[in-house]
Amino acid sequence: MNRFLSQERLPVLITSVVAIAMFLIAGFKYDNFLTLRVFFNLFSDNAFLGIVAVGLTFVILTGGIDLSVGSMVGCSSIMLATLIRDSQVAPPLAVGIVLAFGCLIGLTQGFLIARFELQPFLVTLAGLFLCRGIALRISQQSVQIDHPLFDQWASFSIALPQKSSLSFAALLLFLVVGIGWYLSRLRPFGRAIYAIGGNRQSAELMGVPVRKTLIGAYVISGICAALGGVVFTLYTQSGNAVSGTGLELDAIAAVVIGGTLLRGGYGSVPGSLLGVCVLGIVQTAITFDGTLSSWWTKIVIGVLLLGFLLLQRWIESAALSRRALAPSGTN
Amino acid sequence: MSESTPLLHLQGIDKRFPGVHALKGIDFELETEEIHALLGENGAGKSTLIKVLTGVHAADGGSICIEGRQIAPRNPNEAVTFGISTVYQEVNLAPNLSVAENICLGREPRNVFGIDWRAVGERTKSALNRVGLRVDPQRLVGDISIAEQQLVAIARALDVEAKVLILDEPTSSLDQDEVAQLFATLRRLREEGMGIIFVTHFLDQVYEISDRITVLRNGERIGTFQTDELPRIELVSHMIGRSAESLEHGAMASHEVSGHEPFLTVTNFGKRGSVQDLNFEIRSGEVIGLAGLLGSGRTETARLLFGIDHGTEGGYQLDNRSAHLTPRSAISRGVGLNVEDRKAEGIFPGLSIRENMVVVAQVKRRWWQRISTAEQKQVADEYVSALQLQPPNTDRNIENLSGGNQQKALLGRWLAVEPRLLLLDEPTRGIDIGAKFEIMALVERLRLEGKSFVFISSELSEVIRVSSRIVVLRDRRAVTTISRAEANEEAVVAAIAKHE
Amino acid sequence: MKSMPSWIYALGALIFVLLFNAFATPGFFEINVLDGRLFGSVIDILNRVAPVALLSLGMTLVIATRGVDLSVGAVMAMSGAVAASLIARPEGNILLGLNFGDSVFLIVLAGLVTGLLCGLFNGLLVSRARIQPIVATLLLMVAGRGVAQLISDGQIITFSAPAFASIARGATLGMPNPFWIVVLFAAVILVLTRWTALGLFIESLGSNPIAARNVGINTGALLLFVYSVTGVCAGMAGMIAAADIQGADANNAGLYLELDAILAVSVGGTLLSGGRFSLVGTLIGAILMQTLTTTILTRGVAPELTLVVKALVVLAVCLLQSPTFLHMLRPKKVAA
């Protein structure tokens, strides 16, 4: 069997081809699209989505789902802004508190899911309500942030050729993807994540610390979502309790388009970054066009998602029939 | 075997579950360089004993000593650290990870950067060598055969310093060559000084490989015997608690089929990649036995005949008309299939015994004509008493039934629609010997009423006992047909084993 | 041996909340008659619960088949947009070709057909393409609001059509119309599932899909059926929502209601792992959730706390359905 075109790699390969093709087509269609500036802005503009998607990838790899990430972004955004403006907390400490909060929510969700074998879908649905409720409780108004250090972070960027640049947010995104890749590939924790996604009972009997690993996945997702909220706040320079509404869907779409199977076990962290790029290109192209209304973004993402889901099904059934046809036995 | 401390010594192991006294003070000894078969019918307590030994359950009483040291494993991982490794019946590996990753999962060698993939490769190589498996360590486990997976699981179990290896029905999905390969590995491990506990349903294998046999029944230890000193018939009577004589059965009656025309004919029928060259016909009042090794295409044949899978070649004629069946149309034309895997493909857990039993009748009657609850009760009660299903309360959840009684309920499901042809795929698997005989008697009774069957069983003696004709499958092809008059174990085994 | 119905906890909780209100909220059970129409908190609950109750009726069947339909909120938005466009007939709208005049019947029919088409789409993805339900319906959840905006040209279409508005605002025999709509839908779905064998088939399919195919149940058609029913229910809920505000808001109509519906179903005792379902339980669950919301609002608690309360209810229900959790509770009781 061709390992290169395996169940794991083929979707990522196709996503890459689609991403490049879309970038080129948009480049021919719209002036100034095919530039480094547009390319690097993809990462700056979608850093928060990317960071959230990386965390979500871990959860989805275990075969679970985390619906709370969107409202976590809103919650951490408003929390950060209020801490800095009203409570006069130094930004680094405020970020620390917000990340700790994300960790706590992730820990709670993970504990309930792992310890009591509750459905991830429902527990994180409760998390969605809870975070949004807390966020709205903190403030229903948008909170502006005026803090020199925070402004410094927001305006920091590395200049690159052709007037392009990489913002602080984009650098954070790359860092998070790097850490995510390291955890998933080079730590036993990552192997355990994959093993649980492949077959939870087996993983248990093979001595994988299933509970700890599951909790770990939701903690990572919680922290990433909180960090996503921080980056979103940097991007808008203000905190808003309703930011991130529906973001969980974009994040899931990015992860799926990036080649991770929703049933768990197959996929990768860099793939999710690729998925975010695809969503970003769609968004940017529609903005460039100017005549297309913004809702086309949703429709195009829906169509793309459909395409990739059908593709996943096709690959899976091809793999199944290949297995059925494979001669059994070692002789 | 040394007279000193045994490798593994269980004393007075006691385990209770709510309502069940699963283990009643079991003693068990395992020596080094020994393969010890652990036998017993379902519910005898084998799996509970193994789960206590591997730390899945905690014993309520008794002690476990390994090399004279008392241990109390709290989970499978801890049992492994005490030197007890287990390979389960259903292969427990991560199908989405490679062979190498599976062997090292949870105990990956590390360097400063994380997992040391080079060391993983080396360890995998030596582990695979030890079980004599040659397979690319980079392949995904889901892509290799079940037999190879089984060996990978053993390689994984041996990757740690195992002193005791427990094999829980490791051969149930292997064919003859694969079993031979496995046994060669086991013998080598025995020579290396390991103690092996071997759980199986296949008596042939017990006699082939084991040094001693311990028999459990109803949570009690019946005895431990030297294998070469225990006649087969005695072993069986120990297992089922009946005297040996009652198991001998009288001469087989002949199956006279009075001049009926065949209603089902398959000619060169098959599906590429599944099973091919099926050639037989079925008359009413006939039982067609399918014999062959596991993987020879028996289940596939049943699935093709019932229309779960669709034939790609040859002809399938029902009532002299070419048929392209789906399960639905098969049922409406009087064909039923009692599946092999009861739990995964047969029962509806959470629904009542009654609903489980009437569902096919309801499908046949169409959805808009609901069978009333009173009528459902009547139908279910009729087959509960006909099949002596225990307990007889049909409002209970089917999950509360034992395996044998679930099997009866599933049979009742089909009998309630009186199919003229019922395909029985391993109807006797995993149920008590007593229930096995009841099911075979039932087949004979219905055959006399003019019903037909296709009977699939891994137990040759059962196939021979009930079948009018035996179709022998080999390598996913029907190779020959043996009539009832000529059918005996030697003839069938010869047909199965024949090399061309 | 007859076991207690699965919705007993929900009923207990509902009675508890009602009792609480009887003592703590003055006038909670007061009912006034005005112009032959009943008014009061209890009536208000029965009125407001209608959209969620409709969604959760369909959702019950979907969940019983081991599925879930996340798109119902977006479907509400779509059917609302269709209805609003047909009534208000804004310039340049893509539905200008259809002129149903003032016929409320035809407009409602168009809304229901919209829901039906969405349901069929979901059903086809689940049954034919074999995509997991969460994912398959996520698709329409994402794209559906885009389509709704496409239909309404990205604007909030408002209209003034008393006949149509009476769907949500009118009353019949003293009770608000949405209440009767729920009663009608509940009755039809109950008859469809319990007076025929569809209920047994749905439960079989949810209990063991492979076995269901093996006994000849037409699982594909059944899935198509349950998703279509849910689509039609969502279409009707969309009509009520549009009639209530006399307009269609593609962004906010039905937002998060899919979650409320799932919540109502699971509170009502239908396991999310499929199999046995209870429509009565679902209705009790929906009413319980609405009663909680109303209680919070009438007691002057900050409305955003309803979200927190819902979260806690979800967790409580999950824990009560978890065998592991119940198992853990038991030995403690014995020890104490």
Helix (H) or strand (E) holding B176: helix B176-191
Residue-wise pLDDT for B178-234, tens only, equals 788 888 888 988 998 899 999 886 777 888 899 999 998 878 898 999 998 888 777
Q: Mind giving me the DSSP string for A103-122?
A: HHHHHHHHHHHHHH---HHH
Shortest Cα–Cα distance, B439 to chain C (Å): 21
Q: Are B143 and A318 in contact (CB under 8 A)?
A: no
Closest-CA distance of chain A to residue B80, Å? 9
Asked if B327 lies within 8 A of C2 by C-beta distance, the reply is no
Q: Which residues are CB-contacts of C111 (< 8 A; sequence separation ≥ 6)? A: C79, C80, C82, C83, C235, C236, C238, C239, C242
pLDDT computed for residue B240 by the predictor: 64
Cβ within 8 Å, pair C259-A129: yes
Domain presence at residue C98 = yes
Q: A259, A264, A203, A202: which is closest to A61 by C-alpha? A: A264
| Cis ω before C323 (30° cut-off from 0) | no
Q: Does some domain include residue C20? A: no
CB–CB contact B177 A206 (8 Å): no
pLDDT of residue C335: 38
State the sign of the Cα–Cα–Cα–Cα dihedral B363, B367, B369, B373: positive
pLDDT digits (tens, 9 = 90+) for A19-52: 899 889 988 888 888 888 888 989 999 999 999 9
The gap between the terminal CA atoms of chain C, to the nearest Å, is: 29
Residue A80 clears pLDDT 80, i.e. is over it: yes
Q: Is A164 exposed, middle or buried (0-12, 13-18, 19+ CB in 10 A)?
A: middle
d(CA A302, CA A287): 17
Q: pLDDT-based confidence at C113, cuts 50/70/90?
A: very high
Q: What's the pLDDT at A274?
A: 94
The CATH architecture that domain B8-245 belongs to is 3-Layer(aba) Sandwich (3.40)
Mutate to test the interface with A, among C59, C142, C149 (most CBs of A within 10 A): C142
Res. B313: pLDDT tops 50: yes
Query: CA–CA separation, C257 vs C52, rounded Å?
Result: 7
Strands B212-217 and B34-39: parallel
Distance between CA atoms of residues A222 and B156, nearest Å = 34
Q: Tell me what pLDDT residue C58 has.
A: 96
Instruction: Looking at B37-161, list the stretches that DSSP marks H as alpha helix, in order from N- to C-terminal side.
Output: 46-53, 76-81, 99-104, 117-131, 146-159
Q: Would you say residue C328 lies in a domain? A: no
CB–CB contact C204 B328 (8 Å): no
Question: Chains with ≥3 Cβ pairs under 8 A against A?
Answer: B, C
Contact assignment for A194 to B96 by CB distance below 8 Å: yes
CATH class of A35-317: mainly alpha
List A residues 18-77 in contact with C (Cβ-Cβ < 8 A).
65
CA distances B348 to A101, B344, B361, B403, Å, are: 43, 9, 15, 13
pLDDT tens for residues B23-81?
999 999 999 899 999 987 666 788 889 989 988 888 898 999 998 889 888 888 888 88
**B residues 174..193 contacting A (CB < 8 A):** 175, 177-178, 181
| pLDDT (mean) for B334-342 | 89
Q: Give me the pLDDT at residue A179, please.
A: 96
Q: In this structure, which amino acid lies at residue C261?
A: A
Quick: pLDDT tens for A245-257.
888 888 998 998 9
Q: Given this model, what pLDDT does residue B250 score?
A: 44
**What b-and-e string marks burial along C25-52, b requiring 16 or more CB atoms within 10 Å of the CB?**
eeebeeeeeeeeebbebbbbbbbbbbbb
Contacts of B305 in chain C (CB under 8 A): none
Domain B8-245 and domain B264-497 have a common topology? yes
Residue B166 one-letter amino acid: I
Question: How many structural domains are present in chain C?
Answer: 1
Gap between the Cα atoms of C224 and A282, Å rounded: 32
CB B289 within 8 A of CB B463: yes
**Residue among B331, B350, B369 whose CB faces C216 most closely:** B331
Min mean pLDDT across A184-188, B383-387, C94-98 is at: C94-98
**Tokens standing for C304?**
């955003």
Measure the CA dihedral A29/A34/A37/A42, to 10°.
70
Please judge whether B94 and A198 are an interchain contact, meaning their C-beta atoms are less than 8 angstroms apart.
yes
Q: What is the CATH code of the structural domain delimited by B264-497?
A: 3.40.50.300
What integer pLDDT is reported at residue A4 of this predicted model? Answer: 46
Among residues B247, B260, B298, the alpha carbon closest in space to that of B479 is found at B298
Among the listed residues C78, C3, C88, C9, the one whose alpha carbon sits nearest the alpha carbon of residue C281: C9
Task: With respect to residue C331, please indicate whether it lies within any of the assigned structural domains.
Answer: no
**B251 DSSP assignment:** P
Chain A residues within an 8 Å CB radius of B106: 188, 191-192, 206-209
Q: Kindly report, residue by residue over A272-311, the tens digit of the pLDDT.
A: 999 999 999 998 988 888 777 778 888 888 888 888 888 8
Flag whether pLDDT at C302 surpasses 70. yes
Q: Which of A125, A295, A302 minimises the CB distance to C154?
A: A295
Q: What distance in Å separates the CA atoms of residue B305 and residue B281, rounded to the nearest whole number?
A: 12
CATH code, C313: 1.10.3470
B391: preceding bond cis by omega (within 30 degrees)? yes
For C198-240, how does the pLDDT look when each residue is reduced to its tens digit (9 = 90+)?
A: 999 999 999 999 999 999 999 999 999 999 999 999 999 999 9
Residue C3 falls inside a structural domain: no
Residue B98: alpha-carbon gap to chain centroid: 27
Return mean pLDDT, chain C.
Answer: 88
Residue A151 has a CB neighbour count (10 Å cut-off) of 14
| Most A CBs within 10 Å, among C78, C289, C308, to test the A interface | C308
Beta bridge partners of B482: B470
Looking at residue C288, its pLDDT comes to 92
From the list B113, B142, B177, the residue facing A331 with the nearest CB is B177
Residue type, C13: A
Q: Pick A96 or C297 by higher pLDDT.
A: A96
Domain boundaries, chain A: 35-317
What integer pLDDT is reported at residue C234 of this predicted model? 97
Rounded Cα–Cα distance for residues C45 and C14 (Å): 12
Q: Which residue has the tokens 């059934």?
A: A317
pLDDT class for B256, splitting at 50, 70, 90? low
- pLDDT for A320 equals 66
Evaluate whether C293 touches C306 at the Cβ level (below 8 Å).
yes
Among A81-90, A149-158, B19-28, B169-178, name the one with the lowest average pLDDT: B169-178
Q: Do C314 and A129 touch (CB under 8 A)?
A: yes
B50-59, B160-169, B287-296: range with lowest mean pLDDT: B287-296
The arithmetic mean of pLDDT across residues B346-368, rounded, is 91
- Best residue in B304, B338, B351 to probe C by mutation, most C CBs within 10 Å? B351
